Amino acid sequence: MTDSDEARGVRPAWVDWTLTIAAGVLLALMVRAFVAEVYVVPSASMLETIHEGDRLVGEKVSYRLGRPSVGDVVTFNDPDGSGSTLIKRVIAIEGQTIDLRNGTLYVDGVAQSECYVDGRPSYALTQHAANLEQDISYPYTVPKGCVWVMGDNRTNSLDSRYFGAVGVDQVTSRAAFIFWPPSDMGRL
């Protein structure tokens, strides 16, 4: 930088680079906090829809403007307080009644035809009492402000059968699409 550049108010190149990098980092953090986040699926609880190790994008805008719907695949904070993020399918929303009978899931008295469970039965699980104010007994009505979530791999999923209904305020995103590996790529 010359004296004439300095006199005209031209910034040194390193200042421009620093500002550009800082703006990029800030933008990336804002996107992650408010728009979308990448998740690595840690378990097989959503087979065959999502495989262990898949990478997916969870978009966060939908639930800032509305609430989860039945059938949405959502991410949420683990109710056990571990700080991890879980991914499951919304089976019922507030006011709906869940029942599990002979391996069949019923919502509001109607047996559910769920192509994504690949014939795996839906049995009640032993509950984690530390997370529950009271034991879950069926039929169970989903409380106000909550959703009932279950993994598609019903025989290998700790879900609402185990920890109870999840508050919609704990839902962090709607799983939008898998981007890695290419063999699993697609919308959810």
Active-site positions? 45, 88
Residue 181 lies in a domain: yes
Mean pLDDT of the 30-55 span? 85
- What is the domain-level CATH number for residue 117? 2.10.109.10
Decide if pLDDT at 58 tops 70.
yes
**35-53 average pLDDT score:** 88
Per residue in 130-178, pLDDT (tens digit) is 556 667 888 999 999 999 999 988 888 889 988 889 999 999 999 999 9
* pLDDT tens digits for range 90-130: 999 999 999 988 888 899 999 988 777 666 666 665 555 55
For residue 94, give its domain range: 59-187
Residue 19's contacts (CB-CB under 8 Å, 6 or more residues apart) are: none
Q: Is residue 100 part of a domain?
A: yes
Rounded distance between C-alpha atoms, residue 52 and residue 73, angstroms: 15
Range from 32-41, 56-65, 86-95, 96-105 that averages highest in pLDDT: 86-95
Question: Would residue 11 count as lying in a domain?
Answer: no
* 168 inside domain: yes
What is the per-residue burial (b if ≥16 Cβ within 10 Å, else e) of 64-79? Answer: eeeebeeebbbbbbeb
Within-domain flag for 180: yes
pLDDT at residue 97, as a whole number: 97
Q: Per the structure, how many domains does the chain have?
A: 1
Is 34 among the domain residues? Answer: no
Please report the pLDDT score of residue 121 as a whole number: 64
The pLDDT value recorded for residue 157 is 86
pTM score: 0.80
Partnered with residue 92 across adjacent β-strands are 148
Neighbours of 48 (CB within 10 A): 13
> Confidence band (pLDDT; 50, 70, 90) for 21?
confident
Any domain includes 102? yes
Please report whether residue 107 resides in a domain: yes
